[in-house]
Amino acid sequence: MLRFGTSGIPLSTPRPGTEAGIRRARELGLDCLEMGWVNGVRMGEAAADRIAGAARADDIALTAHGPYYVNLCGSEEIVRRSRDRLVHTARMAQRCGAGSFCFHAGFYQTLTPGEADRRVREGLSGVADALHREGLRVDVRPELTGKPTQVGSLDEILGWSESVPGVRPCVDFAHQYARSGGAFNSYREFGETLERIGGRLGRPALDRLHIHMGGIEYGPRGERRHVPLRASQFRYRELLRALRDCRVSGWVVCESPAMEEDALLLQRTYRRMR
Ligand SMILES: [Zn+2]
């Protein structure tokens, strides 16, 4: 089963807060919600417990987007703080009952891709060890990023997923399209990406995949901004067809500014496919 939902609480949620967002997602007929913690995890344990209860009651599967202030390729001090932030994100995500959380791994800056890759791998191993010690089982998902200056190509996130236990990919197809200057935008390329994931990580990776998509604009330096699906050249119908044909299950988080409208458009389009 593929669950469709918004990144952050739906715009039409009548009052602030994740619990109200969960209720609204259910009213709309969506099946998942990504909690947007990009400016930090600002929530205590009691609130997390209430969110977990609300999500169970309304059968809304939760995921989380970790803070932007993470760079596993930075100085020792920055990496240490990034690791702590990721472990805290994992702790709170699991407490909310989320199955997965994603984040952007960092920036190449002056590093060679090989060195950046090595540092991220080391940082992720540290996070995985801490999660193991605390008995946390939420998926740690570095995201396929939208700019070539950001670490996180498809090959990099698959490599980390192969080598660090508990790490799996968050595949943002809109980012892949923007990052590649529009090269990844047809049924064939989407299918090849899914085959590559299955080939390197095995079938279970496609049975539980964390996916982002949405309309996007790009320039020579990759991602510019998220736009509504209908305002973008991104071929979401072909992507949905590829997901259907490969029998992919998991979460599809729509990052469009026209949040619930586009999440529902994706869900409807997918469900009508045979
Ligand atoms: Zn992201």
Distance 126 CA to ligand 1 centre (A): 21
Chain segment 134-148, per-residue pLDDT in tens: 999 999 999 999 999
Whole-Å CA distances, 265 to 28, 240, 247, 254: 12, 11, 19, 10
Residue 5 has pLDDT above 90, yes or no: yes
Whole-Å CA distances, 3 to 81, 98, 129, 151, 208: 33, 13, 30, 27, 11
Predicted confidence at residue 66, as pLDDT, reads: 96
CA gap 89, 83 in Å, rounded = 10
Chain segment 31-72, per-residue pLDDT in tens: 999 999 999 998 999 999 999 999 999 999 999 999 999 999
Distance 58 CA to ligand 1 centre (A): 25
Predicted confidence at residue 188, as pLDDT, reads: 98
Distance 221 CA to ligand 1 centre (A): 17
Chain segment 113-163, per-residue pLDDT in tens: 999 999 999 999 999 999 999 999 999 999 999 999 999 999 999 999 999
Confidence label for 274 from pLDDT (cuts 50, 70 and 90): confident
Distance 47 CA to ligand 1 centre (A): 24
CA gap 48, 101 in Å, rounded = 15
Task: Report the predicted TM-score, pTM, of the whole model to 2 decimal places.
Answer: 0.97
